[in-house]
Amino acid sequence: MSTPGLASIAAPLLVWAGHFVFSYAVAAVVCAKSAPVGGLRGAIALATALALALVARQGASAWSKHVRGAEPHDAPNDEGRARFVGHLVALCAALSGVAVVYSAAVFLVVRSCE
Amino acid sequence: MSAEERLRAVWKTPSGWRYWSSVNNSDVGVWYVAATFVFFVFGGVLALLMRVQLAKPGNTVLEAEQYAQVFTVHGSVMMFLFALPIFEAIAVIILPQLLGARDLPFPRLSAFGFWCFVIGGVFLCGSLFFGVAPRGGWFMYPPLTSSYQPDIGADFWLLGFSFIEVSAIAAAIELVVGVLKCRPPGMRLNLMPPYAWYVLVAAAMILFAFPPLIAGSLLLELERAFGWGFFDPRKGGDPLLWQHLFWLFGHPEVYVIFLPSVALLATMLPTVSKRPLVGYGGVVLAAVGIGFLSFGLWVHHMYTTGLPGVSLGLFSAASTAVGLPTAVQFACFVATLLAGKPQRSVPLYFTAAGIVSFVLGGLTGVMVAMAPFDFQAHDTYFIVGHLHFVLIAGAVFPIFGGLYYFFPIATGRQLSQKLGTVACALVFVGFNLTFLPMHLTGLRGMPRRVFTYAAGHGLETPNLVSTVGAFVLALGVLVILFDVLRPKKKQGWSPRNPWGAGTLEWLQAMPGEDWGVRAIPVVTSRYPLWDDPGLVARVDAGEGYLPDAEEGLRETLIVSSVDAKPLQVQRLPGSSFLPMLSAFAVGGFFVFGTYHWWGLALSSLALGAVLICKWLWSGTGAIPEKPAKLAAPGVELPLYASGSGSIGWMGLFIMLLADLTAFASIVFGYFFFWTVHDDFPPRDAVGPGVLWPVTGLALVLAAWGLTLLARRLNRAEVRAGAVVSLGLSAALAAAGAAALLYGPWVTGLKPSQHVYPAVVWVLVAWAALHLAVGVVMLGYCAVRRLTGRMTATYDGELQNTTLYWHFTALTALITVAVIAGFPLAT
């Protein structure tokens, strides 16, 4: 179940999920408890920087596995599988990065709980 | 007897009335598909009734109450009894074939899931004929479905579907383990057919999407039956909690419906285009990416509930982000068609119709993802148009295409190309005539779920067109049904691999044998039948893994999940009535519960528990007669595995993840109330105290420790020590459960007074129920050990029980931290 192959594919998207849940929970609590919204944007900025750094690292590491070697992605051997998974993880990291930026952009545009 | 004859004898489907005891995927899968289509036709007839009623303003075919029942049952049937189970049904037939496996890893679980589904479905649909059907819409919002509809209708929905959700989770476990562990040797992750990827993602989504609804249904049923006011503002509850829990399920669920159908497109497209899928990596990315992102969309169903603007923005952002992987996969599909040489065939027609229409539905989806637009369109016919576009084009068209494509696999016969073409044209035209005008009807202001409308608002023509369209669509479905049911004896068997496909399911001879595949081949490419022309002959000659059944037992191959290296030969259980009987007994709990006959309900549940224990006792964990056997020339594999290497452990782990998600949903409820209330827990409220919850936790942790000790002693051949340890653990667990329940009891918390005591009681009862199951499992292990059915080496039961206890200890820990710890922190 928790083999490196499957866990690494899920990892970048889990970072997006963590960022999303954090943003949602912080916004919900701050707005419900009438706390100052200023702190909210700081917290989101920090979480966003952290999330982007994480997916960038995952993506770069996966991409380096993908460019190593010359076997095609559908080669029936370890190298083919490793290159394919590297490629897939890099794509997932890119998608996660874009999705994190989408979430963070909301806090730039919407500045109140109204 | 030759190897072939032995194999045939072992996998033979029972005849006569015993046919219904079959658990083979090729039988259960066909029953499953047939049952879903019966429900589909039933839901379709209800749709036609609604369209007749709406054909002209002020029509009187249905009364308001009847109409409410009809639209509720229509939506519920199409979602829960057709769209979702058809995914499981098709996968049960196709997946083992596609993976060159003999069967799925837990055949009796598939059969159990099927019977649960049929019982729950018949029960819910039956309520309509007695005029007592649910009428609160398929998403059952309280307070409409609680204080305004106190009659039995909503109970049918809540209990009937909770039962069906159990069957969905059973199927999900089966499919996840099936994809990861039952592949042919050599089918590494990079060679897995896209269908298997999609099934893996969709099944994993079920595990996290369905539990919130199970938790929500439990809370709503407790409110309706016992007055625990989770959704009742007079008691501190909040109806919005239901919306959160429902859509936490409901939105991912849409993708659970959509992804497996897209998987059918990704399976048929390479065949009809005569070339490999373009952008395999992009398609897998889309499957995985959508699987995750779709969990961040649920609030887009709740834009008009007054949530803070930032929250709406967040969900709007995720709703548009999910369009990215969706666009990638459809670009890959269109590219495959463009780069290949598409052959005229019914699957191609349905595929093309699906792609074109789904893109239109997807675009209106992006429109309603924008909160300001949704404020206008919410609860109008625009939404009805949008959702039918994505669901029919995204799911039903591919399923019809798949029906024509895969029909020979299930029956050995082909459907008619002519009838299929006519049906596709009728369905496509009828579908657009029905649902395209609804966008206009909605923009002109017609709300959904009204039983009639007034003349003079420009609604007459689009409604009439929709009604005509619905009958054209129905005619198309009728043609398909005729094609499926017409006698086909004269036309002869289908040729082998009739479409010239490249994947393993088409290894099958026509008609197929009960054994699935003659021998399990080694796979070295994504399209083995295209890349290795000699494969079919070699498999027919019995070259490959497990070509024989020397011991007269059903077997399949278990491999490693990433690189598909052969690990074990798994013995599979054969035909049995136990899954069916267990389903009826457990079903009795839900049926009797609906009528609040709690004595009968609990007896039925107890009977179910006994039957399930008997099933486990007789069908699982058998100690093999020898430790290993030759699975292929020169490859000896063990016949038994326990702990994390066994499929039973993996299945249980997956089930416990789902269970933990349901528990987390109730904890979410607790903190939801804390967020929306100024004081929660209320300042003057007496909680469960600290003493008894903490005592209970200490006992539970001790029981957990003793379970671990029992496992260690058993491994060290200290039989008596292991059994004593198991007994002590069970006693401490029972005491722990009692202490947890005593906390709110002794402080006099009354769950019907306020939501705070109610949520504390639910958490405590949840933990106690899990402890009770844990006690049964400990006892089961002790008896297995004492009777020699479990040994130091063959200790799968104890390994699984330990895994269960990890989760149960965690559940108790979280429960106590929330009910006793959190009030202290505030």
B821 and A CB contact within 8 Å: no
Determine the pLDDT at residue A41: 87
- What residues of chain B lie within 8 A of the CB of A84, using their CB? 189-190, 281
B675: nearest CB among A28, A106, A113: A28
* Predicted confidence (pLDDT) per residue in B245-263, tens digit: 999 999 999 999 999 999 9
| Mean pLDDT value across chain B | 95
Contact B310 A33 (CB under 8 A): no
- Do both B238 and B144 map to the same domain? yes
* pLDDT digit string, tens, across residues B381-415: 999 999 999 999 999 999 999 999 999 999 999 99
List the CATH number of the domain containing B791. 1.20.120.80
Instruction: Name the token pair of B578.
Output: 């136990």
Q: Is B643 on the interface with A (CB under 8 A)?
A: no
| Side chain identity, residue B716 | A
Collect all residues of chain B within an 8 Å Cβ-Cβ radius of residue A72. none
pLDDT value for A73: 92
Q: Give contacts of B284 with chain A, Cβ < 8 Å.
A: 88
Query: Which of B638, B663, B697 is a domain's end point?
Result: B638
Do B369 and B405 share a domain, yes or no?
A: yes
Residue contact A99–B191, C-beta within 8 A: no
Residue B653 belongs to a domain: no
- Shared domain for B487 and B508, answered yes or no, is no
CB contact under 8 A, A27 and B650: no
* Whole-number Å distance between alpha carbons of B337 and B737: 60
Q: Do B311 and A24 touch (CB under 8 A)?
A: yes
Residues B437 and B514 in one domain: no
* Domain shared by B278 and B385, yes or no: yes
What residue numbers bound the domain in which B528 lies? Answer: 504-638
Instruction: Please check whether residue B576 lies inside any domain of the structure.
Output: yes
| DSSP category for residue A68 | S
Mean pLDDT on B436-444 = 97
User: From residue B558, how far is each of A80, B409, B624, B758 by CA, in Å?
Assistant: 22, 24, 16, 46
Is B311 part of the contact surface with chain A (CB cutoff 8 Å)? Answer: yes
Asked, for residue B149, whether it belongs to a domain, the answer is yes
Chain B residues whose CB is inside 8 A of the A87 CB are 281
pLDDT value of position B619 = 86
In a domain, B669, yes or no: no
State mean pLDDT over A95-107. Answer: 96
**Average pLDDT of the residues of chain A:** 90
Band (pLDDT 50/70/90 cuts) for residue B163 is confident
- In total, the C-beta contacts within 8 angstroms joining chain A to chain B are 130
Q: Which amino acid is at B28?
A: V
Q: Tell me whether residue B652 is in a domain.
A: no
User: What is the share, in percent, of chain B residues with pLDDT greater than 70?
Assistant: 100
pLDDT confidence band for B448 (50 / 70 / 90): very high
Q: List chain B residues with CB under 8 Å of A29.
A: 675
Same domain, B479 and B520: no
Q: B467 and B528: one domain?
A: no
ipTM: 0.95
Work out the average pLDDT over A31-56.
89
Closest-CA distance, A46 to chain B, in angstroms, reads 17
By C-alpha distance, which of B422, B436, B313 is closest to B364?
B436
In the structure, what pLDDT confidence band is assigned to residue A4 with cuts at 50, 70 and 90? low
- Minimum Cα–Cα distance from B286: chain A residue: A92
- Model confidence pLDDT, tens digit, residues B313-370: 999 999 999 999 999 999 999 999 999 999 899 999 999 999 999 999 999 999 999 9
Q: Which of A28, A76, A78 sits opposite B311 (nearest CB)?
A: A28
Q: pLDDT at position B635, please? A: 95
Report CA-CA distances (Å) from A44 to A53, B294, B299, B310, B824: 14, 21, 19, 12, 28
Given a cut of 60, whether residue A3 has pLDDT beyond it is no
Residue among B176, B181, B190, B560 with most chain A CBs within 10 A, to mutate: B190
Residue B664: inside a domain: no
Cβ contact A85–B189 (<8 Å): yes
- B82 DSSP assignment: I
Option in A14, A73, A99 nearest B318 (CB):
A99
The rounded distance, in Å, linking the Cα atoms of B219 and B225 is: 10
Residues of chain A with C-beta less than 8 angstroms from the C-beta of B310 = 27, 31, 40, 106-107, 110, 112-113
- Residue that has been written with the tokens 């979602």 in this structure: B79
Residues of B in contact with A75 (CB under 8 A): 190
Is B321 found in the same domain as B253? yes
Whether B88 and B180 map to the same domain: the answer is yes
Predicted local confidence at residue B161, as pLDDT: 87
What six digits make up the tokens of B307? Answer: 């949530």
Q: Cα-flanking dihedrals φ and ψ of residue A93, to 5°?
A: -65, -40
Residue A33 phi/psi, 5-degree rounding, is -95, 10
Q: Is residue B175 part of a domain?
A: yes
- Point out which residues pair with B572 in neighbouring strands: B554
Neighbours of B750 (CB within 10 A): 11
Q: Tell me the per-residue pLDDT of B759-768, one tens digit each, with 9 for 90 and over.
A: 999 999 999 9
- A-chain CB neighbours of B525 within 8 Å are 74, 76
* pLDDT per residue as tens digits for the range B604-656: 999 999 999 999 998 888 999 999 999 999 999 999 999 998 999 999 999 99
Cα(B637)–Cα(B445) distance, integer angstroms: 67
Instruction: Name the domain count of chain B.
Output: 3
Determine whether the interchain pair B280/A28 forms a contact, defined as Cβ–Cβ distance below 8 Å: no
Residues B69, B131 within the same domain: yes
Are residue B466 and residue B532 in the same domain, yes or no? no
Clarify whether residues B152 and B185 are in a common domain.
yes
Q: Does the pLDDT value for residue B773 go beyond 90?
A: yes
What is the rounded CA–CA span in Å between residue A92 and residue A72? 19
In a domain, B666, yes or no: no
B83 Cβ neighbours under 8 A, 6+ residues apart: B257, B391, B395, B396
Residue in A6, A13, A98 closest to B292 by CB: A13
Contact (CB<8Å) A3/B321: no
Residue where one domain finishes, among candidates B491, B518, B550: B491
Q: Is the pLDDT of residue B231 over 60?
A: yes
pLDDT score recorded for residue A2? 37
> Which residues of chain B neighbour A23 with C-beta distances below 8 Å?
314
* Contact between A24 and B314 using a beta-carbon 8 Å cutoff: yes
A73·B314 Cβ contact <8 A:
no
Q: Is the pLDDT of residue B465 over 50?
A: yes
Q: What percent of chain B has pLDDT over 90?
A: 93
Say whether pLDDT at A1 is over 50: no
H, E, C per residue of B351-403: HHHHHHHHHHHHHHHHHHHCHHHHHHHCCEHHHHHHHHHHHHHHHHHHHHHHH
Q: Which pLDDT score, from 0 to 100, does residue B184 have? A: 97
Q: B288 CB contacts (<8 Å, ≥6 apart)?
A: A9, A10, A13, A88, A92, B197, B201
Residue of chain A nearest B652, judged by CA positions: A1
Considering B458, B491, B524, which residue would you say is the last residue of a domain? B491
